[in-house]
Structure 1
Amino acid sequence: MWKWVILVLVVMLGLMQYRLWFGESGVREFNDIQARADTLEGATDTLKARNDRLAAEVVDLKNGLDAIEERARSDIGMVRRDEQFYWVPDVETDRRGPAAQTGVVRP
């Protein structure tokens, strides 16, 4: 009689262990969810850093003329009235934007 009780308890323990390790909401699924959460956290950190940079740029554009002037120079190639404009053909530059490629020089 005790053999059957022990056998039934061992079988039940085995079934519970199977569900714990391989069943729905088990350890394997937990590890998969944890890996996805880690991946999303890395992506979120990258996006937060980008948002912080954009917020700082917005504050600069609202508060100061230096940021607006820099943006106008790099994006649309504007030159101030008291500056001389020199165009040097076939010159490669590392910076992006039309102003960087035009060779704007202050006197």
Structure 2
Amino acid sequence: MRWLTLILAALLLSLQWPQWFGKGSWLRVWQLDKQLVAQRASNEQLLARNQALTAEVRDLKVGTDAIEERARNELGMIRQGEVFFQLLDPANTPHR
């Protein structure tokens, strides 16, 4: 009787092994679920970035305000007839 119980227990464990530790096991499903959640979060961030870039491209194609802002900030350009004042922070200027 004892041998029969051991054989049945071994058979039960051999049948359960693939379900818990095999290729399509519960542990693998949990790992893939965690990866899916992380990938969805990454996709959301990339989608927001792509939407911002699309809006910027649309502004550059249609409006002149974005082009003017970039010219002023990145290239230091000013309009004809404008006066440019640069204010220096006294704390950052070297003393002679």
Give TM-score, length-normalised by structure 1.
0.70
- Percent of pairs with identical residues: 37
Which deviates more from structure 2 when the two are superposed, residues 32-41 or residues 60-69? Answer: 32-41
State the aligned residue count.
Answer: 90
RMSD: 2.4
Give structure 2 stretches of 5+ with no counterpart: 92-96
TM-score of the superposition, structure 2-length normalised?
Answer: 0.77
Q: In structure 2, what is the equivalent of residue 39 of structure 1?
A: 38
Aligned match of 1:30: 29
Offset of 1:24 from its aligned partner? 2.2
Q: Which residue is 1:55 aligned to? A: 54
- Structural mapping, 1:87-98, within 5 Å: 87-90=86-89
- Deviations 1:18-66 (CA, angstroms, capped at 9, x unpaired): 2101222201011111111211111111011001000000000000101
Corresponding residue for 2:19? Answer: 20
1:64 aligns with 2:85: no
> What displacement does 1:68 show?
0.5
Residue 82 (structure 1) shift? 3.2
With CA pairs under 8 Å and 6+ residues apart, which has the higher RCO, 1 or 2?
Answer: 1
